[in-house]
Amino acid sequence: MGTLLALAVVGLALLGMPLFAVMGGGSELLWLLHDDKSKQFLRFIAPNVMEERFADSPILVTIPLFTLVGYAMAESKAPDRIVRASAAFFGWLPGGLAMVCIVASAFFTMVTGGSGVTIIAIGGLLYPALRKQGYPADYALGLVTTGGSLGLLLPSLPVLVYALVAGIDINAAFKAGLLPMLLISVLLGLHAAWIGVKYRVPRSTPSLREMGAAVWLLKWEIGVPVVLLTSLGTGLAGLDEAAALTAVYTIIVEVFIHKDLSLRKDLPRVGKASMALAGAIILILAMANALINFVVDQRIPGRALEFMLGLGLTQRWQFLLVLNVFLLLLGMLMEGFSAILVAVPLMLPFAARFGLHPFHLAVMFLLNLEIAYVAPPLGLNLFISSFRFERPLASLYRVVLPFTGILGVGLLLVMYVPSIATALVDVDIRKAHARAEARKEAPRDAWLMECVQEDRSNPVPCTPGDRARFGADGTKNPWAPAAPPTAATPAPQAQAGSNPSDEELLRQMMGATSAAPPAAGSDDELLRQMMGAGAPDAGAAKPIATGTPDEELLKEMMK
């Protein structure tokens, strides 16, 4: 019955039923059909939604605020100012205007959080300019289509949603994507330079005056990421407070400084559109958490892991290969946020089993999402670009393949050189270790950032050194005082070159004295020595003198 129900839910999703309805309704039906009758209640969809990790998460406030920022900038003339500044700095290089498209698209995707709006805003501006300057039509169209997803690795809304679902530190997640994003930009920039030289595309003359004028005109938009990252990096504001500051700053800039938007006419319209999108994202998040509750109860990830291990999937490189193919296929079939909500809870147990770095995993996931957006045949950017530039969908498959290949090379480098994604986060990990060492505590905060944990409430060591020091379960205390040494019994004086006999050792313990060593092996002599009678006299036992200390000691022992 459960299998039939799962197939029915998948079928409804393919027919276009809203994702939140598929997840929420599926959760209700799964619990009502649970094998345990005590759990056949709708209330079991609620725990993960109402618990602190979700209901009290600052991201629920952050999502609407960042969505408002993105819509406000897209509706203003900010894209024009971004393009002008990029052209001033990169237009004189080989393939300069193409580099302008790369930089402007990445920046705009970062502040808006969506690939579709970037294609419409930045791509709509630059595609005619690229064609006019002499770039081939296929290259220009492929570039603006790919540019719609380039900023996903920068501090953006997808990173926030991933951090919420995976339970990782948001500031560290922002840092993790910077170097991989720089790598991708360099690879695309080299390709742009080659195209510029090959087709002899004319270049503009560098002008310091134009650079200064363009930056001065863009100074207020540059302030958007500056306000966000500074408030977070200095600790002056939390995530939700930093998002609020950024939203207020953006509205002031676009409404009162640039006056691109009207306070009465435009702002209500922008706010309504952005809140509709934010509400949809939050509703999907809630229903995804409800579905996760059933997945955890049924140990579905654990069963899947056991099945894969049974097939021989035991090496990390094998897991990474299968994981990236799975994420690529999922990203082509689902919208970005939906892919995060569905895939992340399923892959975390596998990642914990193979000891993956949580931020390495995050970068690989988001980079796969970038590739999936432009990968034929179902990449989301292909549909948007086809609509925007009025081109048949099938005609875009060929033009995006070179860009998909470049992104694939970047993914392979990130997969097998994890330091590209973890270098900036490793600084925070070392600081967390130092803080724990100063407090003489187990570095649990560092472990949460070092490897994916099966149970985040009870993190365990990630490295052989920490496991040896703190134990495999992290409960060993290396600072505990050592047990006090036991008092040593004075050793009896033995003859040189020989070990003391048992009889002699017992005699010494009882405090007896003798002029000569006792005859070994005699029970009578042993008893006499225990009583402290002294040396024998011609084979006859000498009675114990009344009142001697030995007699008094024997009486006390007998009592």
Residue with tokens 């649970």: 34
Distance CA 247, CA 559 (A): 89
Global pTM value = 0.65
Predicted confidence (pLDDT) per residue in 200-256, tens digit: 888 878 888 888 998 898 888 888 878 877 887 677 887 678 888 888 998 999 899
For residues 421 and 414, the answer to whether their CB atoms sit within 8 Å is yes
Peptide bond into 377 cis (omega under 30): yes
> Phi then psi for 87, rounded to 5 degrees?
-65, -35
Q: Which long-range contacts (CB under 8 A, 24 or more apart) does 506-512 make?
A: 506/530, 511/550, 512/550
Residue range 371-388, pLDDT digits in tens: 888 888 767 788 778 877
Query: Residue type for 260, please?
Result: D
Give the integer Cα–Cα distance in Å for 342 and 300.
13
121 CB burial (10 A radius; 0-12, 13-18, 19+):
buried
* Confidence at residue 544, expressed as pLDDT on a 0 to 100 scale: 46
* Cα–Cα distance measured from residue 90 to residue 88, given in angstroms and rounded to the nearest whole number: 6
- In 3D space, the residue among 82, 109, 86, 100 whose CA is nearest the CA of residue 181 turns out to be 109
**254 — phi, psi (to 5°)?**
-80, -30
Tens of pLDDT, residue by residue over 376-419, are: 876 778 877 887 787 887 888 889 999 999 999 999 999 889 99
> What is the rounded distance in angstroms from the CA atom of residue 529 to the CA atom of residue 542?
11
4 vs 7: CA distance, rounded Å: 5
Alpha helices (runs of H) in 496-541, residue ranges in sequence order: 502-509, 523-530
pLDDT digits (tens, 9 = 90+) for 139-167: 999 998 888 788 888 887 788 888 888 88
* pLDDT tens, position by position, 109-125: 777 666 566 777 677 77
Average pLDDT of the segment spanning 499-507: 52
H helix intervals, 375-501:
380-389, 393-416, 419-439, 444-450, 464-470
Cα 554 from chain centroid (whole Å): 74
Top-confidence residue, 285 or 119: 119
- Contacts of residue 401, defined as CB under 8 A and 6 or more positions apart, other chains included, come to 376
Is 246 within 8 Å of 236 (Cβ atoms)? Answer: no
pLDDT in the model for residue 425: 92
Q: How many CB atoms lie within 10 A of CB 57?
A: 19
